[in-house]
Amino acid sequence: MRRELFRRIEQAFDETGIEIPFQHVTLYPGLPKDGPAPPLNILLGQTDAVVKNV
């Protein structure tokens, strides 16, 4: 039942144009989270490795 419920919810969202956001992780390499390092943003699922600093 659970699988069918989620399938119907996903179908209803698709029909109305609602997108579910993906989970993400912010990495702070080598320093505490509240330290001076800017976040390291990495895009996954690309054909080439892409690293973007914001």
Contact 43, 52 (CB under 8 A): yes
How confident is residue 8, by pLDDT bands cut at 50, 70 and 90?
very high
Span 12-35, pLDDT tens digits: 999 999 888 777 776 666 666 677
* Mean pLDDT within 38-48: 68
Q: Has residue 37 got a pLDDT over 80?
A: no
Predicted confidence at residue 53, as pLDDT, reads 56
- pTM > 0.95: yes or no: no
Tell me the C-alpha distance between 30 and 37, whole Å.
9
Q: Determine the pLDDT at residue 51.
A: 56
